[in-house]
Amino acid sequence: MNAPAPLLEVRHLRVEFPTRRGTLVAIDDVSFDIAPGEVLGVVGESGAGKSITGAAIIGLLEPPGRIAGGEIRLAGRRIDNLEPAQMRRVRGKEVGAIFQDPLTSLNPLYTVGRQLVETIQTHLDLTASQARTRAVDLLKSTGIPAAEERIDHYPHQFSGGMRQRVVIALALAAEPRLIVADEPTTALDVSIQAQIIALIKRLCREHGTSVMLVTHDMGVIAETADRVAVMYAGRIAEIGPVADVIHKPKHPYTVGLMGSIPTVGQDRERLAQIDGSMPRLNAIPKGCAFNPRCPKVFATCRERRPDLMAAGTSLAACWLHDASVAKEAA
């Protein structure tokens, strides 16, 4: 049985930030797919390039950031080279966005109902009455009680968790096929996080929506994602099925990440840690960017940069998985 065609295809994406001291490369040759109805988790330390990748996909890179290479296709159509007006029509209608702080997505001067209705009418051919009915239904579907009354409330009248539900309703307003969720649970209490995770999973299941879930929380990834991409210094270090990446990581960086997570019932005095820190964009080392911190580094790692290669059920950008090169490390 043939796998369905990917909804989102990112090929050799490169994002640059020109500065007076030279050009900084924030995303360097990143490629991945997301299938219809799939949740792809994207994890890594701060500065790995997770959020910039999401911003590039939805066309919201902060100037002077720019896509300098590669391409992004949505349902086969290239979207990275669209004019701003064309991209605005894609954003909302075909691609929704959920951000970390719901207050940055909501206008404090307008009721949530007005914002929902405006969004719906921008992208769907509905009357004001039909759009309001749809807005109420969206608020109900995202778990907001007494939606008929709350629709006329302002953002400040909602708790943080409820505001995030409103943002999810906004993201779903025009029935997009893809949602880019950038740290959607970080600012929320743990109990509210669990509710938002369950809500995202249910919406994917019911609507067939694909999700790119950007986070640094492996617990959220384990609960929500089908596959996970681990990013480091603007590149993908490993990508594969979520259970395999968590329990059988193939890249030394992923091994370090997983080793730093406490396990319930495990008696350890100290958690494992990865020595050093993520390199600055203007000081990314030659060869594999992780080589100064890698416990398994050998000569080739310092000279040549590895591409993603087969490593069990995953792909890992590590020379240990190239038989001809790995002999050197033995």
Give just the sign of the alpha carbon dihedral 87, 92, 94, 97.
positive
Question: With contact defined as beta carbons under 8 Å apart, do 97 and 60 qualify?
Answer: yes
Average pLDDT over residues 291-320: 95
Please report whether residue 35 resides in a domain: yes
Q: What is the pLDDT of residue 216?
A: 85
Q: Using CA atoms, how far apart are residues 322 and 318, in angstroms rounded to an integer? A: 8
Please report whether residue 162 resides in a domain: no
Q: What is the pLDDT of residue 266?
A: 60
Q: Using CA atoms, how far apart are residues 8 and 101, in angstroms rounded to an integer? A: 25
Give residue-wise pLDDT tens across range 190-237. Answer: 888 888 888 888 877 887 899 999 998 888 898 889 999 999 999 999
Question: Is residue 270 very low, low, confident or very high in pLDDT (cuts 50, 70, 90)?
Answer: low
Q: Is 0.85 topped by the overall pTM?
A: yes
Q: Is the pLDDT of residue 329 over 80?
A: no
Please report whether residue 3 resides in a domain: no
For residue 16, list its beta bridge partners: 25, 66
Question: Is residue 269 very low, low, confident or very high in pLDDT (cuts 50, 70, 90)?
Answer: low
Give the chain's domain count. 1
For residue 65, give the nearest of 76, 54, 77, 78 by alpha carbon.
54
Q: Return the CATH number at 225.
A: 3.40.50.300
For residue 181, give the nearest of 42, 86, 5 by alpha carbon.
42
Give residue-wise pLDDT tens across range 229-263. Answer: 999 999 999 999 999 999 999 999 999 988 776 66
Question: With contact defined as beta carbons under 8 Å apart, do 179 and 92 qualify?
Answer: no
Please report whether residue 112 resides in a domain: no
Question: Is residue 330 very low, low, confident or very high in pLDDT (cuts 50, 70, 90)?
Answer: low
Give residue-wise pLDDT tens across range 111-163. Answer: 999 999 999 999 999 999 999 999 999 999 888 999 999 999 999 999 988 99
Q: Is the pLDDT of residue 313 over 90?
A: yes
Q: What is the pLDDT of residue 264?
A: 59
Domain that holds residue 311: 8-94+176-264+274-329
Please report whether residue 155 resides in a domain: no
Please report whether residue 60 resides in a domain: yes
